[in-house]
Chain A
Amino acid sequence: MTDTAVYARGLTRRFGDVTAVDAVNLDIPRGQIYGFLGPNGSGKTTTIRMLCGLLTPSAGDVSVLGLTVPGEAETLRHRIGYMTQKFSLYDDLTVTENMHFMGRVYGMTRGATRARTRALLADYDLADMHDRRAGDMSGGQRQRLALAVATLHDPDLLFLDEPTSAVDPENRRDFWEKLFDLVEQGKTILVSTHYMDEAERCHQLAILDEGVLRRQGQPAQLMAALDGRVVEIRGRDLREVRTRALGMPELLSAAQQGLQLRVLFAPGVTDPVGRLRAADLGRDLEMQVTAASLEDVFVAATLAGESAGERTAEHAGASA
């Protein structure tokens, strides 16, 4: 047993002419929450599906929990839990029926399934609605049920594909607490998301964009790497200021956040505030270098090789 839960080298998947995942290398340690952050269509789901053996890679080597994928995928299935992006349990079965069904599919004994179901229903606040049909539950309840089922057979590794996309913020927070409980029990969790706040909670993070792994590391490290490149601008006519600022070639992005404009500089730029002043963006502007957020990291990572103007507009739209 190594300390690596997931190992991938040159992982690639093509659909026709489109390369959905392009030569991704991964070393995911055990006992951590590892996040995949990326916009829709960045290859998060395709990567997860390849790691579970649901999709055959076009190229590359994968080993999950020491098992070669897809070759040993059948053995692996006993040791992983998978929570799909779309709720995939049976709407017309009750909570308990769904859990008993999955327990038997995983080859658990009837007694073990019952005991485990009881424990999980209590853990996940589902005991009151054990005989409710899954189709009649709220988004948050269904998501808890899906996580309970994914952990039913006590897998070592959990794949969660955008698990909180249909859930309100409060339920999301509770959900993440559950994930840390699971890590405490020694599980490894691989979770994909497009929420910055969720990504920031992960032990480690991979930023995917257009199938390419742009950044990999601890969120704090990734943010620290941008030190000195983010400036907050306060003042009047910020839309106008933004348009002018985007004309500066060394600027990667400019996005308004309430009363301030947040600008991100390309690597290697010294004295960013001085440069902004020199560019004569407007009158009476307050400028201050500030700590980078994960969103800045995301923007910096996904802008690589792109036309800055276009990407920034998209970025500004997404954060609005």
Chain B
Amino acid sequence: MTSPKTARRLNRILGMLPWVIANPGATVDEVCERFGYSRGQLLADLDLVFVCGLPGYGPGDLMVAYVDEDEVVVEMADYFAAPLRLTPPEALSLLASGMALVSSGQAPPALERAVDKLTAIVLPDGGDALSVDLSEPAFVGELRRAAADGTVVRIVYTALAGAQTTTRDIEPWAVFSTMGNWYVSAHCRLAAAERLFRIDRIRSVTPTEERFTPPANPPPPIVAYTPSDSDVQAVIALGPRARWVVDYYPVEILSEDPVRDEVTVRFSTSDASVAARLLLRLGDNARLVAGEEVGEKLSELRRRIRARYAR
């Protein structure tokens, strides 16, 4: 297979040529800025174009490409006057990310116009065939602003486990969305540690007068699980309809049983009730193989819910 570097260079040439043909008189600097070229790279590509063309390969068959008084000149290359169409991954990437930003209400008007124009050429017969909804819950805007200008905010937070509600001052670092949920990563002054908060579980946000200095190297905004020695462990067997757990939780696959169509995983968590609640939700589709603490939590959860329904 040809190297990706060759493909990228060729792609840039096939993008640069139509633009230069359509914009006669463009300077070297303009072309370089627009296509991310250094001066040397552009000159090398023009030299390369100069020796290519149509069979015969004599003067009159080859393309003409050179720099004249700092203007880029391309002639005899009309067959490369049209830009190359986008591949499906390229079109999807541009459209989906554009639509996502528009749906979040964070987009400048230029992006909305760009998405409409691009949709019209990529999906000419069905502009509504692609839809990306990244609507933001309450407080995303406030938290994003606080992260940007380094404002300490006071939040009221209910981490669902046990439905305990706490008030804490946090130094918000980054706001992001993944797997359909919005999160803010922050230094939590109550915990005196780095914490990740699900924004839909924040009940109120109040900016304080205080400012903080963001860390020089904040951790990447991802939902990552950091194992620790105090973790609770459980071994869980997942049936076919519970297999999705493997993709959604940081589990370690222990074994697969093709006969029963089960996969057995080790589930580590800082809070046994997280695993218990998951098992409850999965019902018959999963079973706890080992993990005393999780088993106790699960029994307790079952008892509480049964008691509630017995009233």
Our verdict on whether A and B bind, yes or no, reads no
**Which residues on A are within 8 Å of B, measured CB to CB?**
none
**Which residues on B are within 8 Å of A, measured CB to CB?**
none
